[in-house]
């Protein structure tokens, strides 16, 4: 089966995007892993699938697969690429798109200069729903990792995040501590791990070790979770520039159950066809 696709990225967080509206597509975990291989496949952090919605009030269904073949709930950088893809492929002419995700409805809005604003929804802080093993909800938790204690904030943006504050983003132990926290038993569905350096109340630097993908150049939900964590700790303003290895995102959160708003770019790298 020959399938058309686009290779896209949001600040270096890269995606294979497939239109499953106008062509038939069948994916398995094995197929996703094969396509994700950067030596013998297309190579990507996540595969994004555009499907027809299951509800009449929505425009599309948005599905996300990690490079290891697992399906996940949400991806902010992917959402921006998804929005650009459906417009560029003329699957819609709308400037504001309502999409169905595994966590519910998401609103994607086209802005000038190929920027996309995504209403990421309100963050979930309830440990049971994140999910995270804790008796009471708190802005910071103590996490024992091989006998060492780390202070983390636990936030869900439709997918679980653990956020640590570090003194220096360049020397943060992302590659060593990231995978240990990702699979920590207190996070039963594994977790994305953010390492945040606060540069000012309106500017942070961030690196993210993504669940099922490793460290990526950018993580949209990770940027949102970091700003939420910083706000909960009293470190950040309501509007924050987030500097990631791949570029910058702008995140706004007023708190108190409000939606997190994310603005950033989406770029098409090339188009292709592949046998599945």
Looking at the structure, tell me whether residues 146 and 254 fall in a common domain.
yes
CA 75 from centre of chain: 3
What pTM, to 2 d.p., does this model score? 0.87
d(CA 15, CA 99): 18
Expressed as residue numbers, the domain containing 244 is 141-263
Mean pLDDT of 178-199: 97
Task: Report residue 186's pLDDT band, with 50, 70 and 90 as the boundaries.
Answer: very high
81 is annotated as an active-site residue: no
Considering 81, 124, 219, 224, which one is annotated as catalytic?
Answer: 219
pLDDT score of 41: 96
Q: What is the CATH number of the domain that holds 56?
A: 3.10.310.10
Task: List pLDDT tens digits, range 136-157.
Answer: 999 999 999 999 999 999 999 9
Of how many residues is the chain composed? 276
Residues making up the binding site for substrate:
13, 46, 66, 76-77, 159, 192, 210-211, 220-221
Looking at the structure, tell me whether residues 145 and 256 fall in a common domain.
yes
pLDDT score of 262: 96
Looking at the structure, tell me whether residues 10 and 113 fall in a common domain.
yes
Task: List pLDDT tens digits, range 221-240.
Answer: 999 999 999 999 999 999 99
Looking at the structure, tell me whether residues 165 and 242 fall in a common domain.
yes
224 is annotated as an active-site residue: no
Looking at the structure, tell me whether residues 157 and 259 fall in a common domain.
yes
Looking at the structure, tell me whether residues 194 and 111 fall in a common domain.
no
Residues making up the binding site:
13, 46, 66, 76-77, 159, 192, 210-211, 220-221
Report yes or no: 177 and 208 within 8 Å, Cβ to Cβ.
no
pLDDT for 179 beyond 90 = yes
Report yes or no: 209 and 172 within 8 Å, Cβ to Cβ.
no
Report yes or no: 115 and 257 within 8 Å, Cβ to Cβ.
no
Asked if residue 30 belongs to a domain, the reply is yes
171: exposed, middle or buried (Cβ count in 10 Å: 0-12, 13-18, 19+): exposed
Asked if residue 276 belongs to a domain, the reply is no
Looking at the structure, tell me whether residues 158 and 228 fall in a common domain.
yes
d(CA 239, CA 253): 7
Looking at the structure, tell me whether residues 110 and 178 fall in a common domain.
no
Q: CA 161, 230, 102, 210 torsion: positive or negative?
A: negative
Considering 75, 81, 124, 224, which one is annotated as catalytic?
Answer: 75
Query: Which residue in this structure is represented by tokens 């993210």?
Result: 208
Task: List pLDDT tens digits, range 246-263.
Answer: 999 999 999 988 999 999
The domain tally of the chain equals: 2
Mean pLDDT of 12-28: 95
Looking at the structure, tell me whether residues 110 and 177 fall in a common domain.
no
Other Cβ atoms less than 10 A from the Cβ of 16: the count is 24
Task: Report residue 114's pLDDT band, with 50, 70 and 90 as the boundaries.
Answer: confident
Q: Quote the tokens at residue 161.
A: 């995040």
Residue among 83, 62, 63, 74 nearest 103 (CA):
74
| DSSP-derived secondary structure for the chain | -EEEEEEEEETTEEEEEEE-SSS-----HHHHHHHH-TTTS---SEEEEEE--SSTT-SEEEEEEETTS-EES--HHHHHHHHHHHHHTTS---SEEEEEETTEEEEEEE-GGGEEEEE--PPB--TTTTT---SS--S-EEEEETTEEEEEEEEESSSEEEEEE-S-TTT--HHHHHHHHHT-TTSTT--EEEEEEEEETTEEEEEEEETTTEEES--HHHHHHHHHHHHHTT---SEEEEEETTEEEEEE--STTPPPEEEEE-EEEEEEEEE-
């Amino acid at each position: 089966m020959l399938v058309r696709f686009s290779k896209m990225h949001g600040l270096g967080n890269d995606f294979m995007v497939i239109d499953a509206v106008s062509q038939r597509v069948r994916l398995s975990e094995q197929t996703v892993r094969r396509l994700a291989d950067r030596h013998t496949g297309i190579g990507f952090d996540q595969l994004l699938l555009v499907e027809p919605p299951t509800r009449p009030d929505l425009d599309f269904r948005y599905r996300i697969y990690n490079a290891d073949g697992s399906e996940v709930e949400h991806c902010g950088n992917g959402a921006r690429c998804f929005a650009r893809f459906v417009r560029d492929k003329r699957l819609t002419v709308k400037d504001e798109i309502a999409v169905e995700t595994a966590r519910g409805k998401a609103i994607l809005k086209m802005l000038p200069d190929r920027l996309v604003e995504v209403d990421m929804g309100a963050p979930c802080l309830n440990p049971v729903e994140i999910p995270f093993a804790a008796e009471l909800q708190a802005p910071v938790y103590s996490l024992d990792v091989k006998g060492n204690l780390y202070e983390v904030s636990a936030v869900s943006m439709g997918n679980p995040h653990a956020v640590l504050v570090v003194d220096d983003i360049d020397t943060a132990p992302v590659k060593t501590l990231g995978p240990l926290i990702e699979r920590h038993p207190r996070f039963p569905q594994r977790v994305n791990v953010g390492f945040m350096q606060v540069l000012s109340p309106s500017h942070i630097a961030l690196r993210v070790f993504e669940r099922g993908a490793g460290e990526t150049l950018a993580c949209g939900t990770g940027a949102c979770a970091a700003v939420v964590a910083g706000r909960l700790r009293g470190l950040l303003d309501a509007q924050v520039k987030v500097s990631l290895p791949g570029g910058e995102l702008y995140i706004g959160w007023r708190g108190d159950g409000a939606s997190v708003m994310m603005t950033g770019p989406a770029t098409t790298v090339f188009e292709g066809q592949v046998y599945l």
